[in-house]
Amino acid sequence: MLKTIRIVRLPIIESLTFCFIMLSCKSGDEKKNSLVLVWEQDKAVAVGFNKQLLSANDQPDIAKKLHVEIVGDSNQESILGSIDLSGDSIFFRPYIPFTKGDSYRVKFNNVVIAIVRIPEPTGPAPEIVNIYPTNDTVPVNLLKLYIAFSIPMREGKWRDNIVLIKNGVDTVSDAFLDVDLELWNNEHTVLTIWFDPGRVKRGLQPNEKLGSPLHEKQKYELLVLKNLEDVDGRILRTGGSKRFFVNDRDSESPHVDDWLIRIPKSDTRTALHFSFGESLDAMLLENSISINYNEHGLAGVFEPINKERELRFIPEASWQVGEYEIIVDPILEDLAGNNMTRLFDNPIDSSKKIKPSLRRKFTIK
C-alpha cells in the first residue's frame, strides 16, 4: 500500500548551539534554517534538519549526540528512535510516532537546539461504540470483555481508566489479567480485557487463593473513564459503562447440532438464521462460521443479533436449490471460553472429552 508522505518546514523555536551558525547563513536560506517535520498517514513520524547547521567538529558521532525528549517529562528521558543520515539531512524517527499536541526538545551534545510542537489533532473525539458481551446476564466464569471504539486508540492507558464495581459499592481489585502487552485488534479499535484465567479456572492456585473474579447472583458494573486516549491524544467524548448480572457457571461447549436454524427459500436473499440458545463470543462469531455450496465458500455477510445469541447470514446472491453445509471453526467460544472442542474450565484431573461437531448440512428447496 502506498504511503502518503507530507513534509512541513517549521522555524527553529529555540536555538543555542545553532545560534552562531544561523546568523552567518543567508537570511533567505529557509531550508537550512528550519526543522522538517515528516508526516505519514496523518502521523508525525520524523523530525530533521540540514547537516550544514552543524560545525565540522560537531558532525562526527551525530547519532550518539542527538536526542529527543518530551517537554514536561520530569525524568527528561530520551525517547527511543533511529537516526537517519541521508545526504545533507539528519532525521530522527521515533519508534512510536510523535503525539499530536505534545512538544519535544531536540538536544545535540546535551544542549537544547530546538523545541518542536506537534500540531493539535483535528476531528471528532473518540467514542465507545459498544461493550461486549451486550447481554446483561453472564455466567460466573465469564472469561473476557471487549470494548469497541469509534477510532484507533492509544496503548498503555486502560488499567488506570477501567474499573469494576460490585453491587454499586465495592471496587473489585485484581479481577483482570495483568499483562504488559495490551490486546488490541489490528486497527486498534477493539480492546480485549481478560478476567484473570488463573482465577476463573478452578483448581489453579490463584483460584484457590483469591477465588473467582465474579460471584454468582451479584450485580456488577464496568466503568470506562473518559481519560482513555486515541492515537492522536484526544480523550473520549464521554466515559461509558456496562452493567450485568452474574448467573450460574457455564460448563457446556457450543454444539452445532443444538442450534436452531431457520432455512430461507430458493431464489431469495433472505437471511439464513441461527439461534444458539446462549450468547457466543462477539469477536469470534462473525469469522468462525462459513457456508459451503458445491464445495465452495458462499459469499455474504454475517450479522450477530439479539445480544450475540443469534446470527444471520445474508448471501450476496440468491439462494439456489440444493444442499449446503455449515462449517464451524473450532475456536468459536461461548462467554466462558468453552470452544467447540474443549471446556475452558475442565478440571485438570478430568478425563471428560467432547466429541466435536463442526459441520451441519441443510437443504434449500
Question: Using one digit for the tens of pLDDT, what is the confidence trace for 174-215?
Answer: 999 988 889 999 999 999 999 999 999 988 988 889 899 999
Specify whether the backbone of 52 is left (phi greater than 0), alpha (psi in -120 to 50) or beta: alpha
Residue 166 bridge partners (DSSP): 170, 220
Mean pLDDT of the 153-180 span: 91
Res 352: pLDDT: 58
- Dihedral sign for Cα 116, 117, 121, 122, please: negative
Q: What is the rounded (10 degree) CA torsion for 339, 341, 344, 350?
A: 160
Q: How far apart are CA 266 and CA 291, in angstroms?
A: 15
pLDDT at 95 over 50: yes
Res 345: pLDDT: 84
Q: What is the rounded (10 degree) CA torsion for 26, 32, 34, 39?
A: 150
Contact yes or no for 335/139 (Cβ under 8 A):
yes
Contact residues for 314 (Cβ-Cβ < 8 A; gap 6+): 269, 271, 300, 301, 303
Mean pLDDT of the 222-248 span: 93
Res 168: pLDDT: 94
Continuous segment of H or E residues that includes residue 241: strand 240-247
Question: Using one digit for the tens of pLDDT, what is the confidence trace for 311-356?
Answer: 999 999 999 999 999 999 999 999 999 999 999 987 655 555 666 7
Question: Using one digit for the tens of pLDDT, what is the confidence trace for 62-78?
Answer: 778 888 999 987 777 88
133 preceded by cis ω (within 30°)? yes
Percent of the chain with pLDDT over 70: 86
Percent of the chain with pLDDT over 90: 56
Question: Using one digit for the tens of pLDDT, what is the confidence trace for 116-150?
Answer: 888 877 789 999 999 999 999 999 999 999 999 99
pLDDT averaged over every residue in the chain: 86
Which among 128, 186, 200, 198 has a CA at the least distance from the CA of 161?
A: 128
Among the ranges given (5-9, 200-204, 220-224), the one the predictor scored with the smallest mean pLDDT: 5-9
Res 198: pLDDT: 93
Res 55: pLDDT: 62
Residue 10 bridge partners (DSSP): 35
Specify whether the backbone of 337 is left (phi greater than 0), alpha (psi in -120 to 50) or beta: left
Res 22: pLDDT: 32
For the entire predicted model, the pTM comes to 0.73
Q: How far apart are CA 84 and CA 91, in angstroms?
A: 5
Domains of the chain: 5-117 (2.60.40), 128-247 (2.60.40.1220), 256-364 (2.60.40.1220)
What backbone phi and psi angles, to 5 degrees, belong to 294?
Answer: 55, 40
Among the ranges given (44-48, 82-86, 103-107, 322-326), the one the predictor scored with the smallest mean pLDDT: 82-86
Residue 39 bridge partners (DSSP): 6, 44
Residue 14's pLDDT band, with cuts at 50, 70 and 90, is very low
Higher pLDDT, 120 or 267: 267
Residue 37's pLDDT band, with cuts at 50, 70 and 90, is confident
Continuous segment of H or E residues that includes residue 22: helix 19-24
Among the ranges given (39-43, 216-220, 293-297, 353-357), the one the predictor scored with the smallest mean pLDDT: 353-357
Res 51: pLDDT: 75
